[in-house]
Structure 1
Amino acid sequence: MPSRSESAVGLLVAMQAFLIWGLSPLYWNHLSHVPAFETLMHRVVWSLAFLVPILVFQKKMGPFLKALTSLRTLAVLTVTTCLVGGNWFLFIWSINHGHVMQTSLGYYINPLVTVFLGMIFLKERLTTRQKIAVLLAGLGVAWLTIDYGTLPWISLALPFSFAFYGLIRKVVDVGPLVGLTVETLLMAVPATLYLGNLAAAGDGVFLHTGVATDLLLMGTALMTALPLLLFNLGAKALTLSTIGFIQYLAPTCTFLLAVFYFKEPLDPSLVRTFLLIWSALALVTWDSIAVYRRQAKPAEAA
Structure 2
Amino acid sequence: MSDDTKGVIAVAVASILWGLVPIYYKLLAHIPPLEVLAHRTIWSLVFFGLVLMIQGRLAEVRALLAHRAGLIAIAAAALLISCNWLLFIYAVQIDRVTEASLGYYIMPLLSVVLGMVFFGEKLNRTQAVAVLLAAAGVSVLTWGLGAAPWISIGLASLFGLYGAIKKYVDAGPVVSVSVEVLLLVPLAILWLWGVHTQGWTGLTGRALGIFGRDWMDSLLLMVSGPLTAIPLILFSYAARRVRLSTVGLVQYLNPTLQFLVAVVLFAEPFTKWHAIAFPMIWVALAIYSVWAVRQERSARRAATSSSTVSTTT
**Could you say which residue in structure 2 is the equivalent of 1:97?**
94
Say if 2:119 is the partner of 1:122: yes
Q: Secondary structure, in 3 states, of the residue corresponding to 1:34?
A: coil
Q: Quick check: 1:232 aligned with 2:259?
A: no
Q: How does 1:1-302 map to 2 (within 5 A)?
A: 5-201=2-198, 203-208=208-213, 210-301=214-305, 302=307
Paired residue secondary structure (1:108):
helix
CA positional deviation for 1:291: 0.5
* Whole-angstrom distance in 2 between the partners of 1:171 and 1:235: 18
Q: Give the drift of 1:299.
A: 2.6
1-side partners of 2:99 and 2:75: how far apart? Answer: 28
Deviating more after overlay: 53-62 vs 103-112:
53-62
Instruction: Please give the alpha-carbon distance, in whole angstroms, between the structure 1 residues aligned to 2:61 and 2:74.
Output: 12
Q: Helix, strand or coil: the match of 1:173? A: coil
Deviation, 1:201, is: 4.2
Moved more, 85-94 or 291-300: 291-300
AA partner of residue 163 (structure 2): G
What is the aligned residue count?
298
Distance 1:43 1:174 in 2: 22
Distance (whole Å) between structure 2 residues aligned to residue 240 and residue 144 of structure 1: 31
What residue number does 2:204 align with? none
C-alpha deviations, 1:105-140, integer Å up to 9, x for none? 000001000011111111111221100000001111
Aligned partner of 1:228: which letter? L
Could you list the per-position Cα deviations for residues 53-96 of structure 1 after superposition, in whole angstroms to 9, with x for gaps in the alignment?
21122222222111111221111111111100000000000001
CA RMSD of aligned residues (A): 1.2
Partner amino acid, structure 2, of 1:279: V
C-alpha distance in 2, partners of 1:181/1:5?
Answer: 29
Q: Report the Cα offset of residue 158 of structure 1.
A: 0.1
Moved over 6 A (4+): none
Gapped runs of 5+ residues in structure 2?
A: 200-207, 308-313
Scaled by the length of structure 1, what TM-score is found? 0.96
Deviation per residue, 1:148-203 (Å, 9 max, x gap) = 11111001000110000000111121110111011101110011122123223474
How many Å apart are 1:300 and its aligned residue?
A: 2.8
Deviations 1:200-252 (A, max 9, x none): 347411111x2110100000001110100111112222101111110100000
For structure 1, the residue ranges without an aligned partner over 5 or more in a row are none
Q: Which residue does the alignment assign to 2:311?
A: none
User: How far apart are the structure 2 equivalents of 1:149 and 1:65?
Assistant: 50
Taking every aligned residue pair, what percent have the same amino acid on both sides? 39
Aligned-residue offset at 1:13? 1.4
Q: Distance in 1 between matches of 2:122 and 2:84?
A: 28
Q: State the distance in 1 between where 2:266 and 2:79 align.
A: 30
Letter in 2 for 1:271: A
Q: C-alpha separation between the residues in 2 aligned to 1:245 and 1:117? A: 20
How many Å apart are 1:49 and its aligned residue? 1.0
Instruction: Give the structure 1 partner of residue 205 of structure 2.
Output: none
> Structure 2-normalised TM-score?
0.93
